[in-house]
Chains A and B, each alone.
Chain A
Amino acid sequence: MPEVGLYYYTLGITVGIWMILVMGQNIITGYAGQISLGHAAFFGVGAYASAVLSTTYGVVFWLALPASVLITAVVGALLGSVSLRLRHDFLAITTIGINFVVVSVFLYSEYFGGSLGIGGIPLPRAMGVVFTKPLYLGLVVAALGLAAAADRLLKRSWLGLSLEAIREEETAAAASGLNVSALKITAFAVGTGYAGLAGSLYAHFMTFISPHDFAFPVSITILCMAVLGGLGTLRGALVGALLLGLAPELFRFLRDYRMLTYGALLVLLMRYLPSGLLGDASPLWQRLITRPRGVRGGVAYGGAVDPPGL
Chain B
Amino acid sequence: MIVEAEMKNGNMGYLKFFLVIILTVALPVMYQGSSCAAATDPVVFVKDAVDEIISILQDEKLAVPARRVERKNRVVTIVEKKFDFREMSMRALAKNWQGRSPAEQDRFVFLFKTLLENTYIAKIETYSGEKVVFKKAAVQGNKAIVYSDLIRKDVETPVNYKLKNHDNRWLVYDVEVEGVSLVNNYRTQFASILGKEDFAGLIAKLEEKVRKEEIK
* A and B interact physically: no
Q: Using a CB–CB distance below 8 Å, which chain A residues touch chain B?
A: none
